[in-house]
Amino acid sequence: MKKASLIVLICVFAVTAALAGALITLNVLNEWRIDFEPVPEPMIVIEAGDEFSPPEISAFLRGRFFAKEGIPAEVTSEGEADSSRPGEYVLSWSAELSGRTNKTSSHVIVRDTTPPEIVLIPEEREYILPGTAYDDPGFSATDSIDGDITGRVKIEREDDGKFLTLYYSVTDLSGNEAHAERTVKYDDPFPPTLTLSGEVEIKFYAGRQTYEEPGYAADDNVSGDITDRVKVEGSVDSETPGVYTLTYSVEDDWGNRAEASRTVTVVEPPKPRKVTVQKDYPQGGPLPDKVIYLTFDDGPGPYTAELLDILAKHNVKATFFVCGTGYTDLIAREEAEGHSVGVHCYSHVYGPLYASEEAYFADLWAMNEIVKEKTGSYTSLLRFPGGSSNTVSRFNPGIMTRLAAAVTEAGFTYFDWNVSSLDAGGTTDTGEVFLNVTNGIAGKNVSIVLQHDTKGFSVAAVDDIIEWGLENGYVFLPLTPTSPTVHHNIAN
């Protein structure tokens, strides 16, 4: 009996052990795990200010063979996301059941991509006066996250003199930018003032006085002194009776104009003016009543040889005021053919030339050395670049007054002119050169004509000018130190 019971116990123990082993094996093979449902997104991106609720996560214990539907497990969550502030937040979940655990998480990115807003207070003015400081009507800047960021606004200005443009920019803490711009027009509705010096009606006898401009001044409320912009139309022939009107006009930067006029009446003198001085007429007698001195500046040049041929054809002598050009060999021909040679300048650049008396004389003698080299002797004849009345030297006050006295003291005779061909800017037409010269000569006893042998169109008019002069009883002579001088009124 005892032996049978022992056998039964052994059998029961063996079966139990076998069942336990089988259960352990099945438990291992079942591969228990905890699953989350739904599975959280690894990264969640939301816009700042949007509503956000963390996802509801559940957990289940499941096996490969058993509990496939899952046994609910308690879920613990950690972390929170503030959707009102940009940043990166971490939400995590964990679950545990029957010795099994699992964890998962999501990164929540709260970003701000909404730019701020700049609001400009409207500008009610149609324009502002140039040169005045601009008073900004005002502006504001707000951001959906940062709130009022007006204090961060930066302003850049662009001013081209006609328009003022203001560029406004602001950046929020997330790097979003906003821009705005305002353009204001400059305008000046006020015309300048133009004032004439001296009398507005002037009268004098022909040949007894040379018209001298009394002067004028122009002032503008924006640009200030704009006298240098004044344009004068019209001219006065002091030798020819008539009524001459000079019109003065000036315009500011905004197209506003001012005008004025002056009337000059040149009256026929009681007795005709006649030249009777003993000068350099070839026969040695008194100077003829009708004399023309043709003078040419700025050469020799590419048209000088042609001019010499024209003069030779008529056996007419002229005067050449020469410069340091690339044609200086022609100076020798000018001298050899009986023409007068005078110094104009070595370098026709006004700034260095009129910088000082020393600078002027250095230039004069540099040119006179070339004259001596080509002709065998120095010349005492000269013409100032721009004439003695030039205004290009005004940057050096009084220089022309001092030079006129200095060259005379040094033994030079300087000549201006009383007839201009206007070939240095007034015209480029040969026919107009002819009319300018002949109209200027008419009515004068002594005419010193200004032309340039560097201008082909001007040289082309010389043949007709000579023929006209000879037909009308004029004598052509070259200038000498004893010739009648025409001196302009020195303006500096």
Rounded CA-CA distance 241/237 in Å is 8
The partner residues of 122 in beta bridges, in order of sequence, read none
**What's the CA angle centered on 309, arms 308 and 313, to 5 degrees?**
115
User: DSSP state, 128?
Assistant: B
Give the strands of the sheet with 154-159, arranged side by side. 154-159, 163-171, 177-185
Sequence-separated (6 or more) residues with CB below 8 Å from residue 268: 205, 206, 241
Measured CA to CA, the distance from residue 189 to residue 254 in angstroms comes to 8
Amino acid at 215: G
63-90 in b/e burial notation, b at 16+ Cβ within 10 A?
beeeeeebbebebeeeeebebeebeebe
In Å, what is the CA distance from 88 to each residue of 39, 104, 106, 109?
Answer: 20, 17, 10, 5
* Residue partners of 108: CB distance under 8 A and separation at least 6: 43, 44, 45, 46, 52, 81, 88, 89, 90, 91
Q: DSSP assignment, residue 298?
A: S
Q: How far apart are CA 187 and CA 171, in angstroms?
A: 34
Q: Rg of the Cα trace of the chain? A: 52
Query: Which residue, among 355, 356, 382, 358, has the nearest Cα to 371 in the 3D structure?
Result: 382
Alpha-carbon distance 87 to 82, whole Å?
Answer: 8
- The answer to whether 262 and 248 are in contact (CB under 8 A) is yes
Instruction: Find out whether 484 and 450 touch, Cβ atoms under 8 Å.
Output: no
Amino acid at 74: E
DSSP 175: S
Nearest Cα to Cα of residue 446 among 417, 472, 425, 466: 417
Collapsed DSSP state (helix, strand, coil) of residue 225: strand
DSSP, collapsed to helix, strand or coil, labels residue 360 as: helix
Question: What positions carry a catalytic annotation?
Answer: 297, 452
Dist. CA 335–CA 319, nearest whole Å: 10
Number of Cβ atoms within 10 Å of the Cβ of 278: 10
343, β-bridge pairs: 322, 382
**Interacting residues of 205 by C-beta distance below 8 A, sequence separation 6+:** 266, 267, 268, 269, 270
